[in-house]
Amino acid sequence: MVELLIFLALIGWGIASFIEFLSSLPAFPTLVTGAVAVPILAAMSYERLLRVNRLEFLKTPRKFLPPERFYWPSQAKRALREILALTAIAGVAWSLAIIFPAQFGIDPKSLTGWVCGVAGIVSLSELISRAWVFVLGSQRFDRLTPWAIGSVRRFMFWISDNHEFLGEEPEVPKKPTKESVY
């Protein structure tokens, strides 16, 4: 029990040290704004993506219908391209937002910080929502995609020989039938 408390105290100390480091950065207000705005914008974008791409079936636990099965592969490829592009945009925007921190002035360095901060927040929220839709859609049609999730599922199956990790439906035991005697 003492070991657990020490472990939790070390984790808490690490988090507090990291937050203290972030608060010393000039871009700390941009980071806090991003930490608050990104989840809200990502949830709104997720709902919009489901509606626009006709993927409302991801909200329901039912089995998919055949038309949904046929248009998902093309949408998955497009979503993956968008995810890769948004990853690059978010990385560049957040890097520039940290290098050029936003201030209350109108000088070019401050304006660059404001624009990069807004671009970083918007691109990161879009990236999270598209990745969320991609993972849910891929998991609905094939439990072993995307690659990272499939690898973990295969590893867990290899360790335990439990077929549920592979996404297979559990077998329903058959009722024993009494044989008729002639």
- Domain count for the chain: 1
The verdict on residue 103 lying in a domain is yes
Q: Prior bond to 61 cis, omega within 30? A: no
The verdict on residue 150 lying in a domain is no
Distance of CA 170 to the CA centre of its chain: 27
Residue 158 CB-density burial (10 A; 0-12 exposed, 13-18 middle, 19+ buried): exposed
pLDDT category at 20 given cuts 50, 70, 90 is very high
pLDDT category at 84 given cuts 50, 70, 90 is very high
Average pLDDT, the chain: 82
The verdict on residue 94 lying in a domain is yes
The verdict on residue 98 lying in a domain is yes
pLDDT at residue number 158: 73
Q: What pTM, to 2 d.p., does this model score?
A: 0.73
The verdict on residue 163 lying in a domain is no
- Taking only the tens place, the pLDDT of each residue in 38-74 is 999 999 999 998 888 777 777 777 665 666 666 777 7
**10: amino acid identity, one letter:** L
**71: amino acid identity, one letter:** Y
Angle between the N-to-C axes of helices 108-141 and 28-52, in degrees from 0 to 180, rounded to the nearest 10? 40
The verdict on residue 165 lying in a domain is no
**14: amino acid identity, one letter:** G
Domain boundaries, position 124: 28-142
pLDDT at residue number 165: 62
3-class DSSP state of 168:
coil
CA 29, 15, 92, 122 torsion-angle sign: negative
The verdict on residue 156 lying in a domain is no
Q: Say whether pLDDT at 90 is over 90.
A: yes
Give how far Cα 154 sits from Cα of 16, 65, 83, 143, 164, Å: 36, 27, 25, 10, 10
- Taking only the tens place, the pLDDT of each residue in 131-159 is 998 888 887 777 667 777 777 777 777 77
Q: By the 8 A CB rule, do 170 and 164 touch?
A: yes
DSSP 178: P
The verdict on residue 62 lying in a domain is yes
Phi and psi torsions of 14, nearest 5°: -65, -40
